[in-house]
Amino acid sequence: MSELKQDRFTEGLALQEKRSLAVYKGWLLKHPEVRDCTANEKAFREYADFTDGLVEADFDFTLSNIRERLALQYVPTEAEIVAAENKHRKSLSLPTLQKLARDENPAAPQREQLPLVWQDIDVSTAAALKQLAKTNIRAFKALCSRFGTDLVNERLGATKSKPVGRSITLNL
């Protein structure tokens, strides 16, 4: 099949699906026992191919076969859920919103102290840390990245030295 024929065929299927969806929406108005929701539309789409040019009789037949699978309660769309949540949050006070934000996005763990074991390797002493740096540099770098070099240096007993090349003033 040529690309032109394939494109025309695809366009025809899309048009037929739109027509079937319009028939489905009209059919729903005549059947109030079937809720107009995404879940029920999905159930109908799974049973019947909307690209086949469906008519109301097809939906009646489909209903008789899938009635037990239909949603009895309304299932809101994702956009409706987001809109309801946004409406609810707009009514909240600032302290309540701040507490909600803290609950939803907890702070990262604090870097207060180095663990005694890192990736199943003992790092409780300076000698153990030095051994880790010699044998597994990736784990050592991950430790430094996670907890900071200041805490690692503190465990190693290293002290900060004055930077080279700095001028100092002398009182003469």
Q: Are residues 123 and 65 in the same domain?
A: no
Q: Are residues 122 and 65 in the same domain?
A: no
Residues 153-166 have pLDDT tens digits of: 888 888 777 767 77
**Helix 56-66 crosses helix 3-30 at what angle (to 10 degrees)?**
70
Last residue of a domain, one of 13, 48, 69: 69
Q: Please list the residues that pair with 118 across neighbouring strands.
A: 121
Looking at every residue in the chain, the average pLDDT score rounds to 86
Residues 84-115 have pLDDT tens digits of: 999 999 999 999 999 988 888 776 555 578 88
Please check whether residue 136 lies inside any domain of the structure: yes
CB-based contacts of 62, cutoff 8 Å, min separation 6: 44, 47, 48
Please check whether residue 64 lies inside any domain of the structure: yes
Please check whether residue 133 lies inside any domain of the structure: yes
Range of the domain at 25: 3-69
Mean pLDDT of 106-125: 77
Please check whether residue 22 lies inside any domain of the structure: yes
Distance CA 118, CA 121 (A): 5
Question: How many domains does the structure of the chain reveal?
Answer: 2
